[in-house]
Amino acid sequence: MEKTNLQWFKEGMKNGIPIGLGYFAVAFTLGIVAKKAGVTVFQAGLTSFALHASAGQYIAFTLIAGHATILEMMIMEAIANARYMLMSCAMSQKLDSDVPTWKRLIMGYFITDEIFGVAVTVPEKLNPFYCFGMAAVASPGWVSGTMLGVVLGNVLPLRVVSALSVGLYGMFIAIFIPPARKNKIIAGIVAVSFALSFLFNQLPLFAGISSGIKIIILTVAISLGAAILFPVKDE
């Protein structure tokens, strides 16, 4: 018995609840970053709805705070969010070819690490309404969390803010460590990334380069090196 669009949507909403809760907490810490960057509640909420990207928004607020140029921002977003391109490619393989463009346009808007991760585990072909359901719950969690972070970020005691500021990094770690455990090459690449990032941060030679540019240089150099040394074979 094939599931209807409504059934897929409801199932998506159910799976969207834990995602939305996690987003709320993580977005709260992002709101603190936004507040520090001088971004208002509305602007932060808008950024969250416009980007739906943890790392991408962290960079966005950092660059806004650093008075970066618009070109620098666009390049950084392209690099920080490059993984969504790969996810989008993978997702295109999960769709029936007769899925209309308008559904693809909405699905694409809501590709995040978590929604992608849950969506591709569906054994059959992917019904876009499954993603719509997840997004319907997860996106409000993300947006409201960010806005509350801006509002409460400076009301909360300094100690609480200090504690919450590692939340986002905790989330990044939760994304790259599990694959590193299962794959020695990824583990090695993470180790090299840590080491080079630390060097870049410490060496006076690189002191004049903005943190955004450091991330671009390191990401492109290390990923390209890894791609040449350890090309990924087809599964």
Partner 1 sequence: MIYVYILAMALVTYLIRVLPLTLIRKEITNTLVKSFLYYVPYVTLAVMTFPAIIFATSSIWSGMAALIVAMVLAWFDRSLFQVAMISCTVVFILEIFVA
Binding to partner 1 (CB under 8 A) within 141-200 occurs at: 158-160, 162-181, 186, 189-190, 193-194, 196-198
What part of residues 69-128 is at the interface with partner 1 (CB under 8 A)?
Answer: 70, 73-74, 77-89, 91-93, 95, 97, 101, 104-105, 107-109, 111, 113-114
Residue among 183, 223, 173, 191 nearest 55 (CA): 173
Is the Cβ of residue 1 or residue 104 nearer to partner 1 in the bound state? Answer: 104
What part of residues 216-235 is at the interface with partner 1 (CB under 8 A)?
Answer: 218-219, 222-224, 226-228, 230-232
Is the Cβ of residue 16 or residue 77 nearer to partner 1 in the bound state? Answer: 77
What part of residues 1-20 is at the interface with partner 1 (CB under 8 A)?
Answer: 18
43 binds partner 1 per the rule CB under 8 A: yes
3-state secondary structure of 40: coil
* Size of site (CB under 8 A) for partner 1: 95
The rounded distance, in Å, linking the Cα atoms of 118 and 137 is 14
H-assigned helices in 68-210: 70-80, 82-94, 101-109, 113-119, 128-153, 158-164, 167-182, 184-202
**Structure-token pair, residue 205:** 């030679």
The rounded distance, in Å, linking the Cα atoms of 92 and 195 is 35
Please report how close the Cβ of residue 124 comes to partner 1 at its closest, in angstroms.
18
